Amino acid sequence: MAEAAETEENGAADGKQVMLIVEDNEEMLSFIAGHFRDLYTVHEARDGKEGWRIATSVLPISSSPT
């Protein structure tokens, strides 16, 4: 997917923080994502399986707990 091409070590090529939204309702997903696109690099998933795939392949992994 295009998300993987956009990422760098910090999670986003544009320097923004990364947000993953998982929502099966298409209208709600668009509504939520639209509110955060200006501030975050938003990745959208339509179900948990897709969300897990994006989370494990796109989002940065921290080596220490927060």
Pick from 34, 31, 38, 2: nearest CA to 17? 38
Tell whether the model's pLDDT for residue 5 goes beyond 50: no
Model confidence at 65, pLDDT cuts 50, 70, 90, reads low
**pLDDT by residue (tens digit) across 6-42?**
444 445 667 889 999 999 999 999 999 999 999 999 9
Q: What pLDDT is stored for residue 62 in this prediction?
A: 66
Lowest-confidence range among 20-24, 43-47, 60-64? 60-64
| Rounded CA separation 56/38 (Å) | 24
SS3 content of the chain, % helix, strand, coil (to 5): 40, 20, 40
